[in-house]
C-alpha cells in the first residue's frame, strides 16, 4: 500500500553486529573479548537504512542511544522491528530526542506480538494520560509478506523462523536483511532469489537451537547466491574478526559495526562510517 513517491534504498549502516550480550562480553577473558581490533567490538544487532529523503532503523536494542550518537544521527523517520527480544527492543525509550527535535510522533512498525511487548515494557508511553518526557510513538502493523512504508522507503516483510518464534526479515529492493533466523520458510527463500546483498545472522561455529550457526548460514548464503553476503548477530565464540573472516568464501564476509554499504549505480560498494574510520585496527 505504497503512498506517494517511493525512493530506493541507497545506503545501509551496520549499527551493531553482536549477539544479545554484545562483544566483548562482560567479564570474559577470551581472545576475542580482549582483542584490540575495533571490529571485535560489536554492539547489539541493528542497521540503519536510508533513501534520498528517508532514514529508518531496524530494531532499537539496548545500544540504540550509543549507535545514534556514534553515527551522529539527527533525524529519524521510523523504526521497523524484527521481533520482541530484549536485544532488539530495549532501547526504544531513547527515541525521545527525535520526538523533541522533529516535534512529531515517531512511527514504530511492529507485528502484533512486538506491539504487545512494546505496550508491556514501555507501558508509560501508551497510557491515556501520559507524562511529559515519555516517548511519543505510534505503532503500525507489520503483516507477513506485507509492505512497510517509512517515509518514501518501502520494505517487504518476510517471515523468518527464530527457534519456535515466527519473526520478520525485510527486503528492500535488491537487499535483504535477516537476523535471528534458525530457518527460512520456502516462501521467504524464493523471495530472496535475485537479491544482490544478503545480510544474514551467523552466531558461532557450534549449533544453536534458535540461530543459524556458521555452516547453516553459509548454506543459506549459497542457496541465495547474492553477490555480497554479510553475516551479523555474531557471538564472541565466532573467533576474532580477522581470523574468521579470512576463512569465508568469496563474496561472504563478517559485518562489523560502522561498515557502510552504498549504492553506486547498480553496484553496492563498501566503506566505513566516520567514527569507525577514525579507529581503524
69 closest CA partner among 48, 38, 90, 40: 48
Asked if 134 is part of the footprint of Zn ion (rule: CB under 5 A), the reply reads: no
Distance CA 125, CA 133 (A): 9
Q: Residue from 39, 42, 55, 85 that binds Zn ion (CB under 5 A)?
A: 85
Q: Residue from 6, 8, 10, 30 that binds Zn ion (CB under 5 A)?
A: 30
Q: For the CB of residue 48, give the shortest distance to Zn ion in the complex, in Å.
A: 17
Distance CA 10, CA 243 (A): 30
Q: Which stretch binds Zn ion (CB under 5 A): 1-9, 94-102, 135-143, 175-183?
A: 175-183
Distance CA 23, CA 203 (A): 12
Q: For the CB of residue 195, give the shortest distance to Zn ion in the complex, in Å.
A: 22
Query: Which triple of cell numbers denotes residue 176?
Result: 535483504
* Residue 104 to residues 61, 123, 135, Cα–Cα distance (Å): 22, 19, 11
Asked if 274 is part of the footprint of Zn ion (rule: CB under 5 A), the reply reads: no
Q: For the CB of residue 179, give the shortest distance to Zn ion in the complex, in Å.
A: 6
Nearer to Zn ion, 54 or 182 (CB): 182
Query: Which triple of cell numbers denotes residue 201?
Result: 545472522
Asked if 33 is part of the footprint of Zn ion (rule: CB under 5 A), the reply reads: yes
Nearer to Zn ion, 25 or 189 (CB): 25
131: which DSSP letter? Answer: P
Nearer to Zn ion, 71 or 180 (CB): 180
Q: Which stretch binds Zn ion (CB under 5 A): 69-77, 216-224, 231-239, 269-277?
A: 231-239
* Residue 133 to residues 123, 209, 249, Cα–Cα distance (Å): 14, 40, 49
21: which DSSP letter? Answer: T
Distance CA 61, CA 22 (A): 11
Asked if 28 is part of the footprint of Zn ion (rule: CB under 5 A), the reply reads: yes
Please report the sign of the dihedral spanned by the C-alpha atoms of residue 36, residue 39, residue 43, residue 48. Answer: positive
Asked if 73 is part of the footprint of Zn ion (rule: CB under 5 A), the reply reads: no
Give the strands of the sheet with 267-272, arranged side by side. Answer: 137-141, 106-110, 78-80, 55-58, 46-50, 11-16, 259-264, 267-272
Asked if 180 is part of the footprint of Zn ion (rule: CB under 5 A), the reply reads: yes
Nearer to Zn ion, 236 or 244 (CB): 236
Q: Which stretch binds Zn ion (CB under 5 A): 9-17, 85-93, 138-146, 243-251?
A: 85-93
Binding mask 185-224 for Zn ion (x = CB under 5 A): ----------------------------------------
Q: Residue from 87, 94, 115, 257 that binds Zn ion (CB under 5 A)?
A: 87
Q: For the CB of residue 85, give the shortest distance to Zn ion in the complex, in Å.
A: 3
Please report the sign of the dihedral spanned by the C-alpha atoms of residue 173, residue 174, residue 175, residue 178. Answer: positive
Nearer to Zn ion, 110 or 272 (CB): 110
Footprint of Zn ion on this chain (CB under 5 A)?
Answer: 25, 28, 30, 33, 85, 87, 180, 236
Amino acid at each position: 500500500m505504497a503512498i506517494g513517491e517511493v525512493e530506493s534504498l541507497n545506503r545501509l549502516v551496520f549499527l551493531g553486529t553482536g549477539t544479545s550480550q554484545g562483544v566483548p562480553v562482560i567479564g570474559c577473558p577470551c581472545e576475542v573479548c580482549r582483542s584490540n581490533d575495533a571490529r571485535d567490538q560489536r554492539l547489539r544487532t541493528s542497521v540503519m537504512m536510508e533513501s534520498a529523503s528517508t532514514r529508518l532503523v531496524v530494531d532499537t536494542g539496548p545500544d540504540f542511544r550509543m549507535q545514534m550518537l556514534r553515527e551522529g544521527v539527527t533525524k529519524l523517520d521510523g523504526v521497523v522491528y524484527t521481533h520482541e527480544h530484549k536485544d532488539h527492543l530495549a532501547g526504544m525509550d531513547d527515541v525521545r530526542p527525535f520526538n523533541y527535535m522533529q516535534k512529531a510522533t515517531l512511527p514504530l512498525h511492529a507485528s502484533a506480538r512486538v506491539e504487545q511487548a512494546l505496550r508491556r515494557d514501555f507501558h508509560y508511553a501508551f497510557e491515556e494520560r501520559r507524562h511529559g518526557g515519555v516517548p511519543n510513538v505510534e505503532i503500525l502493523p507489520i503483516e507477513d509478506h506485507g509492505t512497510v512504508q517509512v517515509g518514501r522507503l518501502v520494505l517487504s516483510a518476510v517471515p523468518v523462523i527464530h527457534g519456535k518464534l515466527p519473526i520478520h526479515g525485510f527486503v528492500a529492493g535488491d537487499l535483504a536483511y535477516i537476523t535471528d533466523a534458525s530457518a527460512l520458510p520456502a516462501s521467504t527463500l524464493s523471495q530472496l532469489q535475485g537479491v544482490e546483498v544478503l545480510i544474514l545472522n551467523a552466531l558461532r561455529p557450534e549449533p544453536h537451537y534458535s540461530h543459524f550457526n556458521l555452516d547453516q548460514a553459509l548454506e543459506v548464503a549459497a542457496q541465495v547466491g547474492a553477490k555480497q553476503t554479510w553475516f551479523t548477530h555474531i557471538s564472541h565464540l565466532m573467533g576474532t574478526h580477522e581470523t574468521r573472516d579470512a576463512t569465508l568464501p568469496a563474496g561472504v564476509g563478517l559485518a562489523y559495526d560502522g561498515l557502510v554499504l552504498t549504492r553506486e549505480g547498480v553496484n553496492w560498494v563498501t566503506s566505513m562510517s566516520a567514527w569507525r574510520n577514525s579507529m581503524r585496527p
